[in-house]
Amino acid sequence: MLGVVVLLALVAGLAVAWHLAKQPAADIHNGASAFFSDPPTTTQTETTAPAATHKKKPFQGEPPWPMYGYNVARTRDASAFRQIKPPFHTVWKRKTFGILEYPPSFADGILYLATDSGWTQAIDARTGEPVWTRRLGAGLANEAALSKTMMYVGSHDGHVYALSRKTGKIIWKTKVGSEVECSQLYYRGRVYSGSHSGQVRAMDAKTGHILWTFQASGEVKSGLSTADGWLYFGSRRAGGHGKDDIWRARERHGRWSVENLGPEFNTADNESEFQPAPNGRWGLLSTDQGLVRVVATAHGWHREQPFANQNGSEIGPLIAPDSHSFIFSRDAGDGASGELFLAQPPGGVGWAPGCPAR
């Protein structure tokens, strides 16, 4: 049951986070404004759980959600979660110290969360009870990435932290630039991170040693992703088509090459996120004009006109496993951000079976 709540939170939390990042007046992570949450006024104690005290088995058949977007390509493809179905009900709820700008990551029956007031915590997903609690100082405006033994999270103090998943002990911390807002990418023994000062860095996942640095010439706030040997990121790097563009980089023979994804993706305005369909034939691009459909052809990608556009706030698309319908978020202008909408083609191809009447 809890997997349901976590999964829904992943979709909704992602949409809200992207909406907040796009609103100039409310962008609290622009380096000039305060975090959402004031420092806790009540006393919260750091706790470290002995490694041997928590040996509960994971939920039966429950796959992990180890990082933002589910996997290194950030596809958010939840088709493996087939046991999640209504009706839903609240099993437990717990107040945290600060706001969860991103939902928790999940593995082996444990939720790993980070708050904008600087607290991070591991929580037993069955009971809601903390396994350990740790204060990292500055705000944590991203989702933790998990390896088998470690948790990686970026902080607004300019560091990336690696914590033991079992105890919460800080294993290492590495200075990567100014504020870190993007969710960390853990892939093949390395941790990839970006910062507001424009550096993209690769670190050894065991030691935190910086392996290489790339200067993106603009804030790197969105989560890095990788696919087909390329590392994808958003930046205002010089040589682009306008404001925020989508770029990719890869290493060959010890040298890094970087390229812009071109005019079919990038314009003079902002392109913030690309969500490919599972079948690889099309995708959705989040832009200042709303969601834009991009179609794969024999000659490359072709960008169509915005087709899910009401006021330019449409963001966070999540395409269904069958590559037909999709969910997205829109600010309807009523003061409540992050409302979710379902779009599907003629013929009624739905996202999932309907919920039973209550």
**pLDDT for 27-39, tens place per residue?**
333 333 444 454 4
- Buried/exposed 117-154: b ≥16 CB within 10 Å, e otherwise: bbbbbbbbbeeeebbbbbbbebbbbbbbbbbeebbbbb
Domain boundaries, the chain: 2-280
Which of the four pLDDT bands, split at 50, 70 and 90, describes residue 80? confident
Token pair belonging to 283: 């995708």
Judged against a pLDDT cut of 90, whether residue 122 lies above it is answered with: yes
12 vs 85: which has the higher pLDDT: 85
**pLDDT for 290-330, tens place per residue?**
888 888 888 777 888 766 656 667 777 888 877 888 888 77
User: Does residue 159 sit in helix, strand or coil?
Assistant: strand
Judged against a pLDDT cut of 70, whether residue 108 lies above it is answered with: yes
**pLDDT for 211-247, tens place per residue?**
888 776 667 777 777 766 777 777 777 777 877 788 8
What is each CA distance from 21 to 117, 242, 256, in whole angstroms?
A: 17, 18, 29
Strands (E), 136-289: 145-146, 150-154, 159-164, 170-175, 185-187, 190-194, 199-204, 210-215, 225-227, 230-235, 245-252, 255-260, 271-276, 282-287
Which of the four pLDDT bands, split at 50, 70 and 90, describes residue 166? very high
pTM of the model: 0.64
- Buried/exposed 206-218: b ≥16 CB within 10 Å, e otherwise: eebebeeebebeb
- Buried/exposed 97-113: b ≥16 CB within 10 Å, e otherwise: bbebbbbbbbbbbbbbb
Which of the four pLDDT bands, split at 50, 70 and 90, describes residue 105? very high
CATH class of 2-280: mainly beta
**pLDDT for 188-208, tens place per residue?**
899 999 888 878 888 999 999
Q: What is the pLDDT of residue 42?
A: 42
Q: What is the pLDDT of residue 355?
A: 47
Q: Is the dihedral of CA 196, 199, 203, 207 positive or negative?
A: negative
Token pair belonging to 288: 């200042």
- Measure the CA–CA gap between 306 and 274, rounded to whole angstroms: 14
Phi-psi region of 188 (alpha: psi -120 to 50; beta: other; left: phi over 0): left
